[in-house]
Amino acid sequence: MKRLLIVVVCGVCVASLLGVAAAQFARTEDAVRYRQSTMFLIGQHFGRIGEVVQGRKDFEPAAVAKNADLVATFARLPWDAFMVPGSDSGTQMRGAALSDSDGFKAAAANSEKETAKLAEVAAAGNLDAIRAQFGVVGQSCKACHDKYRGR
């Protein structure tokens, strides 16, 4: 009897853990808000680096390194929030992100990798190298947007 109880209790624990993993977001709107907020922040901080590499703002190595670090951190966050069924409706995400989730995840992984590299390059403080890697990251954003973003 005691043993049966333990088995039942453990079963309940496992089931609730799986539930948490499957539903990271209580509501679909939360997932949409999460990913749009993260993308907004990525855009803001990536844009600040853009102003420097395009010569519109003075190069302050510490500021660029901080922005690059933030972009790399944010780029690790939002991808699961794109994979919620039905979350494309009424947003800029195309349904293709869900139907071609492998392609989406590959584009996400690539952008995440390149933003991490940008943070490394920015920490070293060489503007030419930062400019080059900024371009690589920009391509990784565009590659995903071209396929999976738009109305």
Q: Is 93 helix (H, G, I), strand (E, B) or coil?
A: strand
Say if residues 125 and 61 touch (Cβ distance below 8 Å): yes
Contact 97, 123 (CB under 8 A): no
Contact 81, 33 (CB under 8 A): no
Q: Applying CB under 6 A, which part among 1-9, 22-30, 59-67, 134-142 lies near ligand HEC?
A: 134-142
* CB count in 10 Å sphere of residue 107: 22
Q: Does 68 bind ligand HEC (CB under 6 A)?
A: no
Q: Which is nearer to ligand HEC, 67 or 115 (CB)?
A: 115
Please tell me whether residue 145 binds ligand HEC under the rule CB under 6 A.
Answer: yes
The reply on whether position 73 binds ligand HEC by CB under 6 A is no
**Site for ligand HEC, residues 38 to 67, rule: CB under 6 A:** 39-40, 42-43, 46
DSSP assignment of 110-150? HHHHHHHHHHHHHHHT-HHHHHHHHHHHHHHHHHHHHHHB-
By rule CB under 6 A, what count of residues binds ligand HEC? 24
Among 49, 69, 72, 104, indicate the residue that binds ligand HEC (CB under 6 A). Answer: 104
Least Å distance between CB 72 and ligand HEC? Answer: 9
Closest CA to 71 of 102, 93, 92, 40: 40
Binding interface with ligand HEC (CB under 6 A): 32, 35-36, 39-40, 42-43, 46, 91-93, 97, 104, 107-108, 111, 115, 137, 140-141, 144-145, 148-149
